[in-house]
Homo-oligomer: A and B are copies of this chain.
């Protein structure tokens, strides 16, 4: 155990994760099995995710709306695959206002059905298309084995739902939103996700094609961090979402849905964290710079706090998110550890010498010890901090990319080598026919499934032999253990 009672990653990654989430005050268990409490610091991180995505959704023409939490049980049954996929995971309200309900209400596990009902009502003509809607909401899927942020019975997410006049339009939208997720993950969360298509076995219940962004955690496991589905006409036919086209003929719409959840908070923790705690990319950090005053007595305190009070509005006005740690009973050393645990990208120390020298000390969270610490002038401090923020953001992405790339292996030699890579906790990229028996064989052997056929194929235009069955395969897929 480290000083702060965190299990080292190398000892037990799973316990490390749980320790960090609780000690960094991100989330807590609740008295309801499977449901978590998102604490203020964790919720601020989620607000950052929401902000980054919502801006991108609006910039691509989507509007937010809100649909009922409860869905009539009969709605789920209208799309055969959909109900089969979700039936085992449902929470069902059977009593309302003291009376047993005639038709039970399902707590939404996802909203394709009820939004499909609304689209059927709202869409008449090709002029109503595309219909581009997003919802920020809570959803419930009955889970027995839960983990904070990664898999909880209730979670927060956004679910986009769109309707289009043609298959092509729906496919363009599906890929556009996968691109939005990829862009957010890379550029805001500093997570070098791999976008790709899910295998037929792993697609969403009711979808024609599912796409996902797959992230590599620091234990080598994959975390599906966002999904985008081309639903074809499946839901349009189940809910009679129709429009009259330009020739005045009645057509079924083509729909999509796409979602990203509080799981992203877990992805940030497990992509960047180390044994000292969280490491947050500056763009996501609720606090970007924590200021720790250093003094031994009241005589030193005065000038130190005066300097800090002069610097604070300058930094705040520049849009830098700061926090001054004025807690009186705690030592600077304790505070350093505390803010390292919380992953604050930059620590600023201001002591009597700094007051005298017109300087401050800046310590980077991403470079431990003295190598990451420098004394800089108070003049031009905003620019200095901005430059460092950019560097830290880039460095975290680079470190995560290096880590990822060193654990990806293209395997074409043999099935045994392929299995060995997966069993070794790494990702194998191999030719894959995509068929169910092959996927099941790997799952039986390793408990790992295919992650995706990456959009960025290493040998475009070529074909190969499926690493599992030896039949012809048109694409390579990643296989890895996953959360």
Which residues of A line the B interface, CB within 8 A? Answer: 28, 30-32, 35-40, 43-44, 46-47, 63-72, 75, 87-98, 104-105, 107, 114, 117-118, 121, 133, 137-138, 140, 142-144, 154, 156
- Bound Cα distance from A216 to B156, whole angstroms: 36
Closest 4 CB pairs of A and B: A97-B142, A40-B63, A35-B68, A38-B66
For A137, what are the chain B residues with a Cβ–Cβ distance below 8 Å?
A: 138
Q: Can you name 14 A-B residue pairings with CB atoms under 8 Å?
A: A30-B114, A32-B71, A32-B72, A32-B114, A35-B69, A70-B140, A70-B154, A87-B98, A90-B96, A90-B98, A91-B95, A92-B93, A92-B96, A97-B143
- On whether A94 and B94 interact (CB within 8 A), knowing A31-B72, A37-B65, A118-B37, the answer reads yes
* In the complex, chain B residues whose CB is within 8 Å of the CB of A91: 70, 93, 95-97, 105
Among B92, B117, B156, contact of A66 (Cβ-Cβ < 8 Å)? B156
Q: Which residue of B lies closest to A143 (CB)?
A: B97
A140 to B91, CA, bound (A): 15
A336, B47: Cα distance in complex, Å: 38
Q: Is the CB of B70 within 8 A of A35?
A: yes
Q: Are A133 and B40 in contact (CB under 8 A)?
A: yes
B114 with A31: CB separation less than 8 A: yes
CB of A459 to closest CB in B, whole Å: 43
Closest residue of chain B to A131 (Cβ to Cβ) is B40
If A43-B66, A66-B156 are given as contacts, then 14 extra A-B residue pairs at C-beta distance below 8 Å, sorted by A number, are A30-B118, A35-B69, A39-B65, A40-B63, A40-B65, A43-B64, A68-B154, A69-B140, A87-B98, A92-B96, A93-B107, A94-B94, A98-B142, A138-B138
Q: Known contacts A37-B65, A40-B133, A117-B31; is A88 also within 8 Å of B97 by CB?
A: yes
Give the chain B neighbours of A69 by CB distance below 8 A: 35, 107, 138, 140, 154
A96: chain B residues within 8 A (beta carbon):
90-92, 142
- Complex CA distance for A330 and B154, rounded to whole angstroms: 45
The CA of A36 and the CA of B69, in the complex, are separated in Å by: 10
Cα(A68)–Cα(B138), bound, Å = 10
